[in-house]
Amino acid sequence: MSESNPTPVQSQDDAGLFNTGRSNIQLIYALYLVSFITGLTAIVGIIFAHLNREKATGWAESHYVYAIRTFWIGLLYGVISFVLSFVLIGFVTGVLAVIWFAVRCIKGLIAAGNREPIAKPETWLI
């Protein structure tokens, strides 16, 4: 009697780097978070999100909407904070914008890891 170790079956949504499944969504959120250090990886993340949004189905659709809105709303908050920094309140709003952005990315990473949809992907809140 020989025991064979079955090879793990790779799910359809984890088949490649540029697919519309979990690994691509996690990559987008990770690129957003790394942009705090590099500054430019969020642009790559938003491009991936826009390119793959139309191909997404099921739970992944809500993540693409959420990730795209996180980028654009975060950019808006950043610009507003920059303008307000000339009257000194922008530093506070800037910190709040960074926290908001990071929390949304972490929330998305956790939900994508569990293959769960985002409950309200169109929200401006967390």
Tens digit of pLDDT for each residue in 28-77? 999 999 999 998 999 999 999 999 999 988 899 999 999 999 999 999 99
Tell me, what's the pLDDT at 39? 86
Side-chain-facing half-sphere of 1: CA atoms under 13 Å: 0
Q: pTM for the full model?
A: 0.81
Give the pLDDT of residue 13: 45
Q: What share of the chain is helix, strand, coil (3-state, %, to 5)?
A: 70, 0, 30
Is there a contact between 28 and 42 (Cβ–Cβ < 8 Å)? no
Q: Which token pair is 113?
A: 């890891």
Has residue 91 got a pLDDT over 80?
yes
Tell me which residue of 16, 35, 32, 34 sits closest to 24, measured CA to CA: 16
CA distances from 47 to 4, 39, 54, 84 (A): 43, 15, 13, 28
Question: How confident is the model over 104-116, as pLDDT tens digits?
Answer: 999 999 999 999 9
CB 20 within 8 A of CB 54: no
Q: For residue 81, give both structure tokens.
A: 């904070």
- In the numeric block, the tokens 């984890």 are attached to 14
